[in-house]
Structures are given as C-alpha cells and as structure tokens.
Structure 1
Amino acid sequence: MKPPLRIGIAGLGTVGAGVVKLLAEHGRLLSLRGGRPLKLVAVSARSKAKKRDIDLRGVRWEKDPLALAEASDLDVVIELIGGSGGIARQLVRKALASGKHVVTANKALLAMHGTELAELSEKKGRILAFEAAVAGGIPIIKALREGLVGNKVSRLYGILNGTCNYILTTMRETGRDFDVVLAEAQAAGYAEADPSFDVDGIDAAHKLAVLTGAAFGCQVNFEGVHVEGIRRVTSMDIQFAEELGYRIKLLGLARETRYGIEQRVHPCMVPLEAPIAHIEGVFNAVVVEGDFVGTTMFQGRGAGQGPTASAVVADLVDVARGRDMPAFVVPAAQLAAKKVAPIGRHVGAYYMRLMVQDRPGVIAAISGVLAKERISVESMLQRGRSQSGEVPVVLTTHETEEAAMQRAVARIAKLRAVAAEPCLIRIETF
C-alpha cells in the first residue's frame, strides 16, 4: 500500500470535529477506498482549551494555522475556518503555493476568489477540492465534474439554503409569519443569532456562483448574482400560493441567455407538480438540465456535521487516489469571462400581492398601469374587507419582461388606494 496521505485541519468547529470523527471511525474503510491510509497529523483552531468530543492524541497542535501551509510533513490542508478573505484566504493560497493539496468547505472564499485559486492550484499542479462548499452532503460538484461532464448544461437551479427552506416550510405548515418562525429557528439552532447571510440570500448566492462556474465553464462571479431574501414573504403569500397551485421556495437559478449568464437568488413560486416543490425542512436539492441526460435532481441534507464532513472526506479520498481534475471542470485559464445578463432582461410570469383600500376604481387603476406596460393578467383574487378597511388583491401575470414589471410595480405603489409596498414574487416553470 502507498504511504499515508498526511492531513492537516485548520478549524475545529462543527465540521472540523466531524471530519476528525469520521477519519477515526472509518479509518480502515477509507484506506481501502483511497488506496492508502488517511492520517491526521496536525490541527489548528482558535482555542486549544475548548472542550471537543474528539480524540486528538498523537496529533500535533499548531497555534498558527498558516504553519500548516509550510509543514513538511503534510500533503493536504483542509480549510474549515470560513470567510471570504483574511486568514482563510491566506492559508489556502499559501498551502497551494507550498505544493500542498487543499480541501475546503468555504463557499464564500470560492465565490469571491474561486477563479484565482483555481489558477494557482493548476499552476502548482495541486488539487483544489470543495465538494463540502455547496449543498453539504449532496455530491453535486462531483456530478458536474464527472457524471454530467458529457453534457452542455442549459439550466441549473436549486434550494441551496436549509435555513430558509426550514422557515418557509414551517410558515406554510403552521400559518405563522416570518419573524415568529425565525425566532423559533434560532432557538432550535437552525438559524444563526445574526441570520442575515441566510435569510437575505447571501449564503445561497455564494453557492450559486460556485455552481455556475462549474456548470457553465465560466469565471466565478458572485457580483453577477441578483440576490433577494425571504424577509418580505408573509404567511398570506404562502396561503395564496397554495390556492394558485404553487409553493414558495428560495431558489438559486442559473442559465445562459443571449444577454449573458443569468444568476438569480430569490423567492419563487414553484408549481406543486414540480419535484423541488416538495423538498421540505432543512433539506437541499439541486436540479441540473443537460442536453443529453435531460433533467437530473440531487437532494439531501445541505448542512450539519455529518453530511458536510462526509463531503470533505470524499474529497480526501479523491486526493489520496490522485484524481486530479480542474476545480471548475475546464482548465482555469480557459474559464470564460461571460457577460452578466441584466435582471431587467429576465422574462417570466409574476405573482403580485397588494394591500388596497376597498373602494370603487381601485382594480381599474391597477389594470390601467399594467396595460400601459403591456402586461397581461392571467388571474386575480380579491378577499373581503379587513378590520382596517384594507383588502389583499392578488394577481398573476403572463410572461413579461422584468423591467416592465418593475416599472409597473413602482407606479402601482404610488396609487393612493395602495396601502403598502407591493409584494412581487417571480413564478418559475419547471
């Protein structure tokens, strides 16, 4: 058998501890699957004194994580620190420059610097692997690199954030509003104390940028992602969605258009007959449409110690076997610098909810604004008067251009009878 693959881990949080446990519990099995033993040699974390449910006897402790990058007795560095810059970026760059392979779960780092790091890894002839960075235990990066490599991808979309999916699922099941469910999710440990990265769509956008690079052979471009979160989705919208035959999901979507690469993260109305509409709770799912394979769907747990550690170790086995592939499927020097498709050019159907004063002429005024923008209404729902005298009016449109819809929404919001900012959700057809 070949000599051991010597491993250093930077970061011993939930995922790092999970990797240590997995290596210990499945050591013999991993040796067989990797063709050589996987040996944990050194670790680094903020606090050595912190109590952790892992056995680090015989493992060297490095106070400075950058020491792992220069250690002569390591073959691969696992970066689990997190963050798009700072020490995480320094460590990955230094490890690659020093001739070490790198495994990371850091989607923010890859979203911001993925192209640069891919170029460096190829220049140094080393592997940059990041299965754990997107969708936890779902092997979507491996699918794009290997199983689907014979296809030209036409579209990719998915539920990429388990926290948002849990919140939207709970809102639908209980009828409670966003703020209440968010507080419950924080108490249960499903949401962070500061949930902004999750509920505002940033986490999903990081993952989508990485997936887009791998799926379309283009440079990773986080700045090109249009991002909206779920804060403005109400239980009323979820109820209306069900009546109309939809379910609301926060999706990341990417496709190539005549205007460039379109990358969007936002709440969507998904038809109930679409399989992704039934991915609930903390689960993730990714759908890839290829020209030869058709539609494929991958689903599973998108976060947590076990699933993410599983993905990290899968990358380690690839390193042990010497499975060297370009990080983003094609050589980094040939990743295309594709244009960003403006969100205003997006064409699709829309759901709009208005809270209006219940008086004559309101519907006519709204219809007049839509007619001026040549927006065709597919359906309209109106409910009885509330105690405040305001009633919800819900309409769905036929396909129209985003720019026209946004102009119409801005004008409708200024109507005297409209009591609150309109809620606009895009309808996706799958």
Structure 2
Amino acid sequence: MMRTRPLKVALLGCGVVGSEVARIMTTHADDLAARIGAPVELAGVAVRRPSKVREGIDPALITTDATALVKRGDIDVVVEVIGGIEPARTLITAAFEHGASVVSANKALLAEDGATLYAAAERHGRDLYFEAAVAGAIPLIRPLRESLAGDKVNRVLGIVNGTTNFILDRMDTAGSGYSEALDEATALGYAEADPTADVEGFDAAAKAAILAGIAFHTRVRLDDVHREGITEVTSADLASAKRMGCTVKLLAICERAADGRSVTARVHPAMIPLSHPLASVREAYNAVFVEAEAAGQLMFYGPGAGGSPTASAVLGDLVAVCRNKLNEATGPGESAYTQLPVSPMGEVVTRYHISLDVADKPGVLAQVATVFAEHGVSIDTVRQKGRQDGNGEAALVVVTHRAPDAALSGTVEALRKLDTVRGVASIMRVEGE
C-alpha cells in the first residue's frame, strides 16, 4: 500500500547536480513514489545566491539558511551536493542529530573525514549513502559495499577522473599538446576554470581513498594516497608509449598486499598495454576494474561526471534511503574491522619506463646499467637513439622489470649524478601487464 504522507527531502546546493536532482524529483514524482512506496516531497533548497532564477523550483522553497533547514525536525532525507569540507560536515552531522538520513556526493569530505560521518550516522541510527561521490552514474559503491560483501577484494584499478582521461585521450589520438588538450576540455565543459583538483590528481585521490576503504574494510584517508597528476606528461611520453604498444592513463590503484597484512592506494599516470580494456576508455568516460577472489575480474564503465549522470546516482541512493526509512531500517554503515595499515609508496612494486638524455659516446650504456644493478633494479629493454642536431646527446629509454618504488627513486638520484646523464626526461610506471 502507498503511504500518503510524503517523505520530505532537503536539498543542499542547487548547481549543476542539485538542479538536476530537483528536476528529476519533480518530473518523475509518480515513478519515484511507486518505487519507494510513498510520495517524495522537496521541502527546501539551500543556496548561496537566492536571487538566481532556478527553473522548475518553487521560489518559496529557496533559503540561504542551510542550518535551519537541516534542523527543522520534519526532514526525512538531506541531499548534500555543495561539496567541500565545511560547512558540509557540520550540516551533515546536524542532519543526523535532527532525524534525517543523508545522501551525499561529497568525495572530498568522505576521503578527509568519513569516519566522523559514519560515527554520527551510526550514533543516531541514520543512513549515509554516497554512490555519487565516485564515478558519477556508474554503480560502484553499492556493489563494493553490498554485492561483494561476502567476497575478498584484492585490487581496485581504474580511471576515475573524466577530465584527465579526456586530456590524455586527445594527446594520444589527436597528437595535441597538454595545454591544447586542456583548453579543449575547458571549452567543452569537462574542465573547471581552475582545473587543479583534476589535473593534479586530487579528485582521483579522494575517490581512491573511498574505494580502498570500502574494498579492504579499513580506514584510508586522502593523506594515505600517493598522488601524482598529469601536468608533466608530454607528447614524447605518449609517443614512447605507442612504440611499446601502450597508451597513458591516469590510474587510481588500490591493492591488498600479497600477505594480506597491509594495503596501498595511489594515483598516478601510467602506461598500459593497448590490449588492456582500460586502454580503450575514451574521452571523459570512467572505468574501474575490481578483482575479487571468488568473483574474479569485474569491470564497471560509464560516464563519470556531469549533472545528469551524477544526479542519477543521487536519486538511486535517495530511493534506497527512503525505502529504509519506511521500513524503519538502515543500510550498511562503515566496515573498518580489518584496521590494515597503508603502506608507503616506496614499498609498491611495479615496472618503470625511464627516458634519459645522455652523452652520445661509448660506455654510457654500461654506466647506466651499472647504476640500475647497484640499486637492485633489473632492466627489461633498452632503446638508444642519437640526436639529429649534432649536439653530442642521445635519447636513452630504459624499461625495467618489477621493482620497489624506493629502489627506483634511488636509481634516478644516482643517474642524475652521472656526468654522462644530461637529464632525466621522464619517469612513468607501467601497469596492467
């Protein structure tokens, strides 16, 4: 039977995502009511600029007092899409205290202080759902929290930032330089006016922290994630990757150690073989591999950002939370029972592609090989090519076997000190083999 009293929803933020959430709630009201078992009513919308015209939203619902809205006492669910740490954290905890469950898209807050939000939700018997915080419309959080709850996840590997994937894709397929590709991404609306969070890897690192925490049942914060962006990736790197049968992607990689006693979480550009499914993920799309003991390899693919895709994830959570509310139940909370430590980047073992500018004379290759051997880094392949400008330099590209990151760092520092090495042009990890 349909309950006649509507469930009241407070919306914090009415930008690209928030306005789309409000639109879908209005246009799909009957369907949402049928799926939930009760009508859903938009009871208030907190914004910073009340004078802005918001099509389809009753002006009487608009308020600048978000605190008063979440503390009303009659709100069943708060949808938070304002982002950032504060005031979002204070508003979410206040919502729990005053009887509301929360649906959030706030990856930064969840990565920085998710433990506080989980604790507040549990203390007050409320739900905290956040599918939209990672990979837009792609169902990823719920499969990790629920569908794979009985399995052991060992690795999560993926492309979780559409802006950087678009830039690298244009550099690879169109031969664009980094600045040119960034300008195109900005013009198309894929990149913000200030793209730092995307291109420097902060956005992807926050998502990696969330994914690692859920996958490995341990607390992983943003500070635990090794982060490198794409600003140093050059056209030469893409060309070198092509010669190896690879392409370059910004990857989020979360892994459980082989002995099961620790985990790692990292975000950095990497070369992956063209045969790998992630290599074919184009433009602003996202894709994530999950490797579990029983389930094997699973791949999740789709649009990772944008108003409509993200709103789809928010509404999915809203339906689930409202159903729980009607049944006087709550969904899954924090699972951090393993309390595994997060190992530093220096202990990560992988392969490397290193490009050096060296003196074009006999004996240089032997000197370079000796440095690698002294640091315990085994060489897989070497390619050397003399410059055509006659300046006495050559380009030397070394691809290693798997080695600890700390060993690589020591190798690079030693190479920089060789008189015959004029410069280390680039260092990139090789993954997916």
* TM-score, normalised via structure 1 length: 0.95
Q: After the TM superposition, which of the residue ranges 207-216 and 31-40 deviates more from structure 2?
A: 31-40
Alignment correspondent of 2:331: 325
Gaps of 5+ in 2: none
Number of the residue aligned with 1:19? 21
> Given that residues 41 and 59 in structure 1 are in contact (C-alpha distance below 8 angstroms), is that contact kept between their aligned partners in structure 2?
no
Deviation at 1:388, TM superposition (A): 7.3
Amino acid at match of 1:274: H
Following superposition, the deviation at residue 74 of structure 1 comes to: 1.3
Contact 2:160 2:288 in 1 (8 A): yes
Residues 388 and 150 of structure 1: CA distance in aligned 2, closer, same or farther (over 3 Å): farther
C-alpha separation between the residues in 2 aligned to 1:296 and 1:61? Answer: 42
1:66 is the counterpart of 2:67: yes
Shift of 1:358: 2.6
Q: Structure 1's 210 and 388: CA in aligned 2 closer, same or farther, altered over 3 A?
A: farther
Q: Percent identity?
A: 42
1:282-320 CA-partner distances (Å, limit 9, x unpaired):
001111111111000001000000000000000100011
Aligned to 2:56: 55
Which residue identity is paired with 2:87?
I
Paired with 1:134 and 1:93, the residues of 2 have a C-alpha distance of 21
In the alignment, what sits opposite 2:208? 208
Q: CA deviation at 1:386?
A: 4.1
Q: Secondary structure at the match of 2:45?
A: strand
What residue in structure 2 maps to residue 244 of structure 1? 244
Give secondary structure in 2 for the equivalent of 1:309.
helix
Cα deviation, residue 201, structure 1: 0.7
Assess if the C-alpha contact under 8 Å between 1:99 and 1:124 holds in 2: yes
Q: Which amino acid is the alignment partner of residue 219 of structure 1?
A: R
AA of the residue aligned to 2:78: V
Once the two structures are TM-superposed, the CA of residue 151 in structure 1 deviates from its matched residue by 0.9
Amino acid at match of 2:416: A
Structure 2 Cα separation of the partners of residues 367 and 191 of structure 1: 42
- 1:89 Cα deviation after fit: 1.1
1:381 to 380, 383, 394: 383
1:199 alignment partner in structure 2: 199
1:109 pairs with 2:115: no
Normalised by the length of structure 2, the TM-score is: 0.94
Residue 118 of structure 1 aligns to a residue whose secondary structure is: helix
Gaps of 5+ in 1: none
> In structure 2, the residue corresponding to 1:99 is in which secondary structure?
coil
Q: Within 5 A, what are the aligned runs for 1:26-425?
A: 26-52=28-54, 54-57=55-58, 59-83=60-84, 85-257=85-257, 258=259, 260-322=262-324, 324-328=330-334, 330=335, 334-387=336-389, 389=391, 390-425=393-428
Shift of 1:179: 2.1
Preserved CA contact (<8 Å) 1:241 1:247: yes
Could you list the per-position Cα deviations for residues 171-218 of structure 1 after superposition, in whole angstroms to 9, with x for gaps in the alignment?
001222212211222232211222111111110000011111111111
1:162 touches 1:302 (CA, 8 Å); kept in 2? yes
| Alpha-carbon distance in structure 1 between the residues aligned to 2:27 and 2:390 | 61
The offset of 1:325, in angstroms, is: 2.0
For 2:200, give the aligned amino acid.
D
CA drift of 1:269 comes to: 1.5
RMSD: 1.6
Contact 2:135 2:305 (C-alpha < 8 Å) held by counterparts: yes
Q: Residue 253 of structure 2 contacts residue 267 of structure 2 at CA under 8 Å; is this kept in 1? A: yes
Q: Work out whether residues 347 and 401 of structure 1, in 8 Å CA contact, stay in contact via their aligned partners in 2.
A: yes
1-structure distance, mates of 2:179, 2:89: 35
